[in-house]
Amino acid sequence: LEANPRASRTVPFLSKVTGVPMVTLATRIMLGQTLAQQGYQGGLWPRQPLVAIKAPVFSMGKIIGGEAALGPEMKSTGEVMGIDRTRTPALMKAFLAAGIALPKEGGAVLVSIADRDKDEALPILQRLAAHGYRFFATPGTARMLTEHGMDAEAVNRIGVGESRIPDLIRTRAVAAVINTITGGSPRIREGVEIQDGFLIRRNAVEAGIPCFTSLDTAAAAVGLLDSDGDYAVLPIGDYRRDVTK
């Protein structure tokens, strides 16, 4: 996510983190007051021992037939903030606020990884397996998992024979979906261009199950399983008071 110096959603984000009322200051400047008259000097604002993470929020479930995979165009309809003194609890709060969480007690994950992403995905899946997760996977991904000593139940792609994928997602037999984009031209089925990956993502979104199409995001979420899950929820002013003591 970008950070813009113009009037944008970055302004309230930075105001909350720093305690500097940027909108109020800017309004008074437009009315003729200088920064010095408002008690502010030039230079950089002092660095604070806080970590603030801005995470996007999507409304894919409300857009019937919309593509859930991310691209260069903006698809988020809002943002949330996680703040704490260190990265792990701040990241955990951001994920929870965005509605993304993996159960620490394990479960099942549906995995379908494009060939070009398999090497990058392997350590993420190994960490999931170490936390007791089991896998349902499309044939190529299942083969990769078993070759590296992980148990995986192969399931047909949607549109190839009888596929269990829609039922696994709808019945919430899986806690999350990890699906990277294959790319290339969509196949033709019954006169309609369709990609099974698109249908996997749509089923996940409509069922309200976390769907990771970015391995960076999946790695961050899986990394939180290694933490003790402990964090404090405080009014944001309390964090800033700690800084100014």
In the predicted model, is pLDDT for residue 189 greater than 60?
Answer: no
How confident is the model at residue 18, as a pLDDT?
Answer: 87
Give the DSSP letter of residue 185: P
How confident is the model at residue 84, as a pLDDT?
Answer: 93
**1 by DSSP, 3-state: which?**
coil
How confident is the model at residue 122, as a pLDDT?
Answer: 97
Query: Residues 224-234: pLDDT tens digits?
Result: 998 887 888 88
- Distance of alpha carbon 136 from alpha carbon 153, whole angstroms: 5
> What burial class does residue 105 get, using C-beta atoms within 10 Å of its C-beta: 0-12 exposed, 13-18 middle, 19+ buried?
exposed
Sign of CA dihedral 71, 72, 76, 80: positive
High-pLDDT (> 70) share of the chain, %: 86
How confident is the model at residue 192, as a pLDDT?
Answer: 41
In the predicted model, is pLDDT for residue 51 greater than 50?
Answer: yes
Are the C-beta atoms of 156 and 173 separated by less than 8 Å?
no
- Distance of alpha carbon 92 from alpha carbon 95, whole angstroms: 5
In the predicted model, is pLDDT for residue 66 greater than 70?
Answer: no
How confident is the model at residue 72, as a pLDDT?
Answer: 67
- Distance of alpha carbon 133 from alpha carbon 107, whole angstroms: 5
Planar angle of CA 156, 167, 201, nearest 5 degrees: 75
In the predicted model, is pLDDT for residue 185 greater than 50?
Answer: no
**195 by DSSP, 3-state: which?**
coil
Are the C-beta atoms of 222 and 214 separated by less than 8 Å?
no
- Distance of alpha carbon 149 from alpha carbon 142, whole angstroms: 11
Choose the CATH number for 102-226 among 3.30.420.240, 3.40.50.1380, 3.30.565.10, 3.90.1170.10: 3.40.50.1380
Using CA atoms, how far residue 218 sits from 33, 39, 224, in Å, is 47, 44, 10
- pLDDT tier at 195, thresholds 50, 70, 90: confident
